[in-house]
Structure 1
Amino acid sequence: MTVPAAFSTVPAGLRELLALASEAALAAGRLHRRSRSRTLRLATKSSPTDLVSQVDREAEELIVAMLLGARPHDAILAEEGAAESGSSGVRWLVDPLDGTTNFVYGYPGTAVSIAAEVDGRPAVGVVYDSTAGRLYQGVAAVATCDGRPLRTRRPDGLATALAATGFGYSPALRRRQAATFARLADRIRDIRRGGSAALDLCHLAAGRVDLFWERGLAPW
């Protein structure tokens, strides 16, 4: 896959990781779209509200196969259980379907999220919005959406800020998040809750929201 011109000054090794992550994210996103009319087999994980479907698992298998097929010595940590140790110094962090509840209900806001750490430090990130068909890519201080550079907004203060948030799956975590929500509700312009933390962060980078907070997020 061709890497956007915005990344022309990025070291070649990171551009290669970005291209591979982008190819895998697009492939998993195509699986999302093909699966929208399927009958889903659902299970729960950490709580009754924490859903997983066969599409989550199939997308993860596809991504892992593509990453390790190209780079067999890399490590992987993925949401649905894939965990491979590696010797290259590169570790992939994978969420094959962020926004599973949205996917189950046919609600917009699903994504593939793939990141690469190099020697323990975040290096490359890709998020594919499989509902809207947008590809977000980032390396260091450079971030793009469909090849166009992104810019954050600078609100005048908290009172004019549009916030995004999400809620974890455990009841205790949700109560803590709700308490924070209540403290902020009358101090900011408004709040959005989309159901995909990966997309919330992309919206932050694109200037569509001014701040994002959520408790209990996983590395992916």
Structure 2
Amino acid sequence: MTATPDTDARPNPDQAASVRLREIAVEAVQVVAPDLRRAFRTGMTVDFKRDQHDPVTEYDRQAEKAIADLLTSRGPGSSIVGEEGGVRAGSGAVSWYVDPIDGTANFAHGLAFFCSSIGAVVDDEVVAGAILNPIAGHLFSADLTGAWLNGEPLHSRGVSAESRGLLITSYPNARALTEDGPSGLALYGELVAGYGTVRRPGSAALSLCHVAAGWADAALGTSVSAWDICAAQLIVRQAGGRYLGFGGDGWNQPRYAAHTADLEPTVLQRFVTAYRAGQADG
């Protein structure tokens, strides 16, 4: 599952529409950035959804509402699929997948690794997206003509050997430990042994953007939602990186492995194969 940016200087109608959707997504992620910067590292109330590993703040809800209001004003009839607000069905062809703060635990604790992520889907295809780290000021975006970081073209390049590579992964999280038990720890051990460096920074969307930029060589997640990976997978692919969704059908799959164009992902592919086999056996 690979993709190469389309460098045609004269976009076709579908490409032109995706460019416009990217512009809207860029505007929407930027509209909430000032509030998130002001709130960062201040006292805030933290609630929990499923368990203590799944926090939410008042800023998640406020940011999602502001983003949804802008998206529906710029694209009347659009549907909104948000992490906090659920589905707001519209009559048009565009569905926006919105994660107002991906990495809420980081945001709440004062760790500057979180982002706002917005992806546009038309006819079950991801066609545009934008992701903003409001603290670092890193604005990633993509459409059907390419991918960019702060307006400059993105190129997903890095090392070829996993033994020298940096892997970002959320695996195993608490739920994976419960479900996979000792086999999960063994799989994680193989990743730690196989890669030069393994990190767990806590935002799937931003981790994938690091792969797109070549700041990380690979990223892996086994428990993600549509709004986590909608925009990010397009950014990786349009930057020339490799993105594999597994565990489902179409673009919206609960597991992913991604890597730069240069990496030879032997250890990563071995994990995916073993994980798939374990899920099938279970």
Q: Fold match, TM over 0.5?
A: yes
2:170 to 148, 154, 166: 166
Superposition pairs of residues 59-208 of structure 1, within 5 angstroms = 59-140=63-144, 142-167=146-171, 168=173, 170=175, 171-172=177-178, 178-208=185-215
Deviation track 1:95-153 (CA, whole Å, cap 9, x = no partner) reads 00111111111111110000000111111111001120111011136111001111112
Output the CA distance in 1 between the equivalents of 2:208 and 2:134: 15
| Larger helix proportion of the pair | 2
Output the CA distance in 1 between the equivalents of 2:180 and 2:57: 22
1:47 to 42, 51, 56: 51
Identity of aligned residues (%): 31
Label 1:40 to 1:204 Cα distance change in 2 as closer, same or farther (>3 A). Answer: same
Instruction: Verify the 8 A CA contact 2:47 2:55 in the aligned structure 1.
Output: yes
Instruction: Verify the 8 A CA contact 1:46 1:169 in the aligned structure 2.
Output: no
Displacement after TM superposition at 1:216 (Å):
0.9
Label 1:141 to 1:182 Cα distance change in 2 as closer, same or farther (>3 A). Answer: farther
Q: Which runs of 5+ in 2 are unaligned?
A: 1-6, 228-282
Label 1:205 to 1:141 Cα distance change in 2 as closer, same or farther (>3 A). Answer: farther
Deviation track 1:50-109 (CA, whole Å, cap 9, x = no partner) reads 100000000001000101112221111111123111222211000001111111111111
Question: 55-64 or 65-74: which moved more?
Answer: 65-74
Paired AA for residue 172 in structure 1: T
Output the CA distance in 2 between the equivalents of 1:173 and 1:140: 38
Label 1:93 to 1:27 Cα distance change in 2 as closer, same or farther (>3 A). Answer: same
Output the CA distance in 1 between the equivalents of 2:180 and 2:108: 21
Residue 223 of structure 2 corresponds to residue 216 of structure 1: yes
Paired AA for residue 194 in structure 1: P
Output the CA distance in 2 between the equivalents of 1:218 and 1:136: 19
Output the CA distance in 1 between the equivalents of 2:151 and 2:31: 18
Segments ≥4 residues shifted beyond 3 Å: 6-10, 173-179
Displacement after TM superposition at 1:48 (Å):
1.1
Structure 2 length-normalised TM: 0.71
Please report the RMSD computed on the Cα atoms of aligned residues, expressed in angstroms: 2.1
Structure 1 length-normalised TM: 0.89
Question: 13-22 or 157-166: which moved more?
Answer: 157-166
1:33 to 37, 45, 49: 37
Displacement after TM superposition at 1:38 (Å):
4.3
